[in-house]
A and B are shown apart, each in its own frame.
Chain A
Amino acid sequence: MGESPKLNLRSPLGRVLGLGSAKDGTAHWWAQRVSAVALIPLTLWFVLSLLWLPSLDYATVRAWLSVPLSGFLAMLLVAVLAYHSYLGTTVVIEDYVHPAGMKLLSLLLLRFLYVLVGGVSIFAILRIAIGS
Chain B
Amino acid sequence: MPARARPTSPHLEIYRWHIGSALSILHRLTGIALALGLLALCYWLVSLAGGEQSYAAAAKLLAGPAGLVLLIGWTFSFSYHLLNGVRHLFWDVGYGFERTERRASGWFAVLGSIALTLCVWGLIWASRLS
Contacts and interface: CB of A to CB of B under 8 A. Distances in A.
Interface stretch (A5-13, A17-25, A33-41): A33-41
Contacts of B120: 47, 51
B5 interface: no
A121 B38 CA distance: 10
Contacts of B52: 58
A125 B49 contact: yes
Interface string A75-104: 000100110010011001000000000000
Interface stretch (B9-17, B84-92, B97-105): B84-92
Interface string B20-62: 0000000010011011001101100110110010011001000
B89 A37 contact: yes
B66 interface: no
B78 interface: yes
Contact of B35 (A61, A88, A124): A88
Where chain B touches its partner, the secondary structure class is helix
Interface residues of B, number: 27
Determine which residue in B39, B45, B48, B124 has the highest number of CB atoms from chain A within 10 A of its CB, and name it. B45
Interface residues of A, number: 28
Contacts of A85: 31, 34-35, 38
Given A56-B59, A62-B48, A88-B35, 18 more contacts: A33-B89, A36-B88, A37-B89, A43-B78, A43-B82, A65-B48, A78-B42, A81-B41, A85-B31, A85-B35, A89-B35, A117-B39, A123-B49, A124-B45, A124-B46, A125-B45, A128-B45, A128-B49
Interface of B: 28, 31-32, 34-35, 38-39, 41-42, 45-46, 48-49, 52, 55-56, 59, 78, 82, 85-86, 88-89, 92, 120, 123-124
